[in-house]
Amino acid sequence: MLSDRIRGLFQTCQFFDMFVTVGNARFPCHQAVLAASSDWLRSNLKSLLRAQSPDSGQSPAPSELRLDISNPEAVLCLLDAAYELGDERPIPHAALADVLRVSQMLQVRQLEEKAVKSLAMEITSENFLERLDLCVEFNLIFLYERILRHLHKQGKLLEVCRCEEIV
């Protein structure tokens, strides 16, 4: 199947024609696959790459898409979604904000869905405030309300409201 062969090319870094870069970390990929992962990328990828690469008159090097985020793990999650690698493990907690940022910035719906699913998992009294803050920052009102309902059902909402960080 063609999609399996394309994934194989990605996994062995063959025939890539661009990099997605965060800081000093560079991740090879294929423009066509990235463009196919969202309507927004399909419409805007060429102009983004052109704007970021000065024309030097030399033979073309792979294009580079630089993302202004702090966690390179977010790019790995983006590429997993673009290549439909089907990794079902949750997104690491430290990368959640950047994954949400990238998914909304590039309008990659399947990546945003996975990030929301990860954000909703394993909510504890230690991390719920940060999760609620992320819900507000990324306009995930439905998840914000779901977290509050979950805390209420567990009988922890009153306990949470007494938390020093809230007061």
pLDDT in tens, the chain (167 residues): 888 888 888 888 889 999 999 999 999 999 999 999 999 999 888 887 777 666 655 555 678 899 999 999 999 999 999 999 877 778 998 999 999 999 999 999 999 999 999 999 878 878 888 999 999 999 999 999 998 888 778 776 656 666 665 54
Q: Which domain holds residue 63?
A: 2-119
Report pTM.
0.83
Element (H, E) at 157: helix 157-161
**What is the per-residue pLDDT for 11?**
86
Q: Looking at the structure, tell me whether residues 84 and 145 fall in a common domain.
A: no
Q: Looking at the structure, tell me whether residues 36 and 107 fall in a common domain.
A: yes
The CATH number given to whatever domain includes residue 11 is 3.30.710.10
CB 22 within 8 A of CB 71: yes
**What is the per-residue pLDDT for 164?**
62
Burial 46-61 (b: 16+ CB within 10 A, else e): eeebeeebeeeeeeee
Positive or negative, the CA dihedral 31, 34, 35, 41 is negative
Q: Looking at the structure, tell me whether residues 16 and 58 fall in a common domain.
A: yes
Q: Looking at the structure, tell me whether residues 7 and 88 fall in a common domain.
A: yes
Element (H, E) at 19: strand 18-22
Q: Looking at the structure, tell me whether residues 131 and 74 fall in a common domain.
A: no
Q: Looking at the structure, tell me whether residues 138 and 152 fall in a common domain.
A: yes
**What is the per-residue pLDDT for 89?**
79
